[in-house]
Chain A
Amino acid sequence: MAKDTLVIAGKSYESRLLVGTGKYKDFDETRRAIEASGAQIVTVAIRRTNIGQNAGEPNLLDVLPPSKYTILPNTAGCYTAQDAIRTLRLARELLDGHSLVKLEVLADQKTLFPHMPETLVAAKALVAEGFQVMVYCSDDPVMARQLEELGCVAVMPLASLIGSGMGILNPWNLQIILDNAHVPVLVDAGIGTASDATIAMELGCDGVLMNTAIAKAKDPVRMGRAMKLAVEAGREAFLAGRMAKKPYEASASSPETGLIQKIG
């Protein structure tokens, strides 16, 4: 039996769980939770270095070395296509020409909802510059299709708002996206607990990307492991093919013949 792997931009990954690196207590907790999650692709943000106060300060990439993890730089905090493009050019330089990136262009500070018109503009420009773009997007099937047509290597619709932990609010839209996609579809944002990740995988998603659900659990290391198992369970259930639902009709699991005799 062929190994079931996630293939993104021609590279295979055994883990279908992608994790963020934000909101942890410290780098040690980051490292331990991510190890427990089994994730091979980890997202990072690109930010100004603190001038004058960082001599000897540990660097995130020392804790999560690019030799061990596929680093996925994001454009979190960017509200225009131009800012996102600049950020990812810097990321590519920072990561020695690495071209796999996560594009997200936000529209609104309260909801962090994706700005789809700017996202489309940025995606087109980044693909033209040779970036392999995994793109955070709304769960609109038309947007997902357009991003795929522009050459994005994966589409990543939200399950619910970033950091909300509200789970999958519109499985029907996700299903339409999945039914039509020819590139990997990963749920990005909104996962709250293990069952949310399992549901995403049972729907047929190729992977799940999360940060807060692990980082803000009471025990992030344990939740990292829970998410690993949840994604694996959901994937296995999807591949196994669930039984048909039979509303209003029970079906006994035990034989209905050979029952002992009724008394009297």
Chain B
Amino acid sequence: MSAPIRITLNGAPREFPAPLTFAQLLDELSLAGKRLAVERNGEIVPRSAFQNASLVDGDRIELVIAVGGG
């Protein structure tokens, strides 16, 4: 069993079992299928990459949605 992956998720430190794709991350967070956008280390992770792209230790992840604003 490999060591857990430590990431910063929306500004807070989190640990997940490895290996971890973006699809698995969203599953873990009960966010699969929600309308959201993902950024890793300042770069967009397109929805089409969720299944195959894996997270690595130290990734800084932002998960965003649309909220009320003017």
Q: Return chain B residues, CB-CB under 8 Å to A210.
A: 70
A residues 69-114 with Cβ under 8 Å of B? Answer: 71, 73-74, 76, 86, 89-91, 93-95
Please count the residue pairs between chain A and chain B whose beta carbons lie under 8 angstroms apart in the complex.
102
Q: Return chain B residues, CB-CB under 8 Å to A135.
A: none
B residues whose Cβ falls under 8 Å from a Cβ of A: 9-12, 29-31, 34-39, 42, 44, 46-47, 62-70
Q: Check A59/B66 contact, CB under 8 A, given A49-B31, A91-B37, A93-B46.
A: yes
Q: When the two chains form their complex, are residues A45 and B44 in contact, meaning their CB atoms are under 8 A apart? A: no
| Beta-carbon nearest neighbor of A94 in chain B | B37
The answer to whether A22 has its CB under 8 Å from any CB of chain B is yes
- Count residues on chain A whose CB falls below 8 Å from chain B CBs: 38
CB distance from A176 to the nearest CB of B (A): 25
Q: When the two chains form their complex, are residues A61 and B69 in contact, meaning their CB atoms are under 8 A apart? A: no
Q: Return chain A residues, CB-CB under 8 Å to B29.
A: 51-52
Q: Return chain A residues, CB-CB under 8 Å to B66.
A: 44-46, 59-61, 71, 73, 91, 94-95
Q: Return chain A residues, CB-CB under 8 Å to B44.
A: 89-90, 93
Q: Which of B63, B68, B70 is close to A51, meaning CB atoms less than 8 Å apart?
A: B63
Q: Check A43/B64 contact, CB under 8 A, given A61-B35, A93-B44, A94-B37.
A: no
